[in-house]
A and B are shown apart, each in its own frame.
Chain A
Amino acid sequence: MPSFQITLTPKDRAAGRFVGRVKRAFQKALDDERRRSGLTQSKMARSLDVHRSVLSREINGNRGLSATRIGELAWAMGLEPHFELRKPTVRAGQNSVTSAPAGTDIGTTTTPAQSGADVNAMLRRPPVPVAA
């Protein structure tokens, strides 16, 4: 049976999938905080001084998020974003190294979008200060 892919440049594919992981991290964090502390989008919107519909489009919709906004959303959830850049690994036999960006060792790397979607690691609770 023939197969086909959605036509995207490797750059656009990597960027789009990263945005998707960020959105899912916020959606999961909001679900978790809703169960843990009763946090709602309305409460978040009030603390960020925006209408709830704007917040909903940012978290659930496709409205773009700046790094500043990601920091603000995480703050409103009582969380801190965890940001890390790393070299992804490739499994033996993987044949998609042609999508690796120029300048990388295509024998050992792949694009970030092709690694596992670890949304849990992207937002976490800040450390609790220890009393002296």
Chain B
Amino acid sequence: MSKVDAALGSRLEVRCIYASPRFRAWAETTLPTMEAHPLAGTTHAQELDTLLEQFCAGDELKIGPRLKSLEHKSDSVWELKTDSLRLFGWFTQRDYFICYVADDTDRIKQYRLYEGYITETVRFRDQLDLDQPKFVPGDDPHAVVSNYAYP
């Protein structure tokens, strides 16, 4: 496991993200090669960097039916979202997120990868040697993050 350095500069770190070897390898090898939509204003890497900054600096996270940047999927697996990317993982405690896997949103939808990624995340979590409790159970956003809002 690795800790994600969100390059916050003068901003304080309020939340933390830890990366599985799979997520780190994807971020270091696949992410830089992903091509943005021709009309996009930013690359996938810039989108992820902005998400990491917002998350780790403790900026308000939107949860709910519209504009959500964090969503509970199932089995206490949560999804962090940008327009083009989806990150799957879980919270070991409030504001501590472990990211197992990430991928392009269109690719996930095209190949129907949601269930597979959630299942793989749970399997990795089960096999990981962590102190109990390994994760925050349930789908209550208040239990997993500070500073969130329902837009």
Residues of chain A whose beta carbon lies under 8 Å from any beta carbon of chain B: 1-8, 12-13, 15-17, 19-20, 24, 27, 31, 57, 60-65, 88-91, 94, 96, 99, 110-111, 113-117
Per the 8 Å Cβ criterion, residues 35-57 of B in contact with A are: 36-37, 39-43, 45-50, 52-54, 57
Q: Once bound together, how far apart are the Cα atoms of A126 and B43, in whole Å?
A: 33
Chain B: interface residue total (CB-CB under 8 A): 42
A16 touches B151 (CB 8 A): no
Residues of chain B whose beta carbon lies under 8 Å from any beta carbon of chain A: 1-11, 18-19, 24, 27-28, 31-32, 36-37, 39-43, 45-50, 52-54, 57, 59, 62, 67, 82-84, 151
Q: Once bound together, how far apart are the Cα atoms of A115 and B18, in whole Å?
A: 23
The 5 nearest A-B residue pairs measured at CB? A114-B9, A16-B46, A64-B41, A20-B50, A62-B83
CB distance from B46 to the nearest CB of A (A): 3
Q: Once bound together, how far apart are the Cα atoms of A90 and B9, in whole Å?
A: 8
A6 touches B49 (CB 8 A): yes
Sample of 11 more A-B contacts, CB < 8 Å, known A6-B27, A63-B37:
A12-B46, A15-B46, A17-B53, A19-B46, A20-B50, A57-B39, A90-B10, A113-B9, A113-B53, A114-B7, A117-B54
A12 touches B45 (CB 8 A): yes
A4 touches B28 (CB 8 A): yes
Task: Collect the chain A residues with CB atoms within 8 Å of residue B43's CB.
Answer: 12, 16
B41 touches A19 (CB 8 A): yes
Task: Collect the chain A residues with CB atoms within 8 Å of residue B19's CB.
Answer: 4
B41 touches A63 (CB 8 A): yes
B45 touches A116 (CB 8 A): no
